[in-house]
Amino acid sequence: MPQFITLVVIIILLKILFDYLKTNPIKTKPAPRGDFIDISEKWINADQMPYQKNEYLMSNRELMAFKMVEALLNDSSYTVFPHVPMADLLMVPTGIQNRQEYLYRIKERSLDMVVFDRQNLIPALVVNIRAPEGSKRQQISDQFTEDAIKTAGYKLVTLDLNNPPGQDELLHQLRANGLDLGQSLRPHNPL
């Protein structure tokens, strides 16, 4: 008789366990979203990759604008770098709702030029270049970049390549945005 009671208790416990697992399934990790690229050398022959050398970092018009800014900063305590990753200047604090989305939006973007304090490489000013006749998509992207930079508290100068400023006008814009370039600094010819 004790064996029969033990068997009934085991069956009842198994039934309770089965019902519990049926209503509360074991949670598994969700499948990763997006494309997964295996960067190990297993998926590709590393001797035959399709990459080619990019001859120029900037277009001729972008290079002209860069040289103009660089020439104005030549004798100052500032330096300028092109194509700085936006994620290097901006951060999204933890605890912010939709933090990953905000991080994703700046991950692949780069800023046209950033003026840094030469001594400590502290960002002082962002220079954005408006492309001539940009598409609607490019205009929206440029507006997002400008809004994000301003929201973070950086000063911003926008150069229109359709109507580039003269050196005196650009010098005035840089000074108006907080760069201490000294009164005796005169524009140099970048060419």
Q: What are the pLDDT digits (tens) for 43-87?
A: 666 677 777 888 888 888 889 999 999 999 988 999 999 999 999
More confident residue, 189 or 22: 22
165 with 130: CB under 8 angstroms?
A: no
DSSP 43: S
pLDDT higher than 50, residue 191: no
Residue 129, classed as helix, strand or coil, is: strand
Using CA atoms, how far apart are residues 70 and 64, in angstroms rounded to an integer? Answer: 10
Q: How many CB atoms lie within 10 A of CB 112?
A: 22
- Which of these, 148, 163, 155, 91, lies nearest to 117 by C-alpha position? 155
CATH topology of domain 60-176: Endonuclease; Chain A (3.40.960)
The whole-number pLDDT of residue 184 equals 45
pLDDT digits (tens, 9 = 90+) for 134-164: 678 888 888 899 999 999 999 999 998 888 8
Q: What is the mean pLDDT of the chain?
A: 83
The whole-number pLDDT of residue 51 equals 79
The whole-number pLDDT of residue 142 equals 86
142 with 128: CB under 8 angstroms?
A: yes
Q: How many CB atoms lie within 10 A of CB 96?
A: 11
66 with 113: CB under 8 angstroms?
A: yes
The whole-number pLDDT of residue 162 equals 83
pLDDT higher than 60, residue 35: no
Burial pattern 118-133, b for ≥16 Cβ within 10 A else e, equals eeeeebbbbbbbbbee
pLDDT higher than 90, residue 187: no
Using CA atoms, how far apart are residues 80 and 68, in angstroms rounded to an integer? Answer: 11
The whole-number pLDDT of residue 190 equals 47
The whole-number pLDDT of residue 54 equals 86
Band the pLDDT of 124: cuts 50, 70, 90. Answer: very high
Alpha-carbon distances of 53 from 20, 81, 110, rounded to whole Å: 61, 21, 20
SS3 percent helix, strand, coil of the chain, rounded to 5, is 40, 15, 45
pLDDT higher than 50, residue 125: yes
pLDDT digits (tens, 9 = 90+) for 170-179: 999 999 999 9
- Per cent of the chain over pLDDT 90 is 46
CA 75 centroid distance within chain: 30
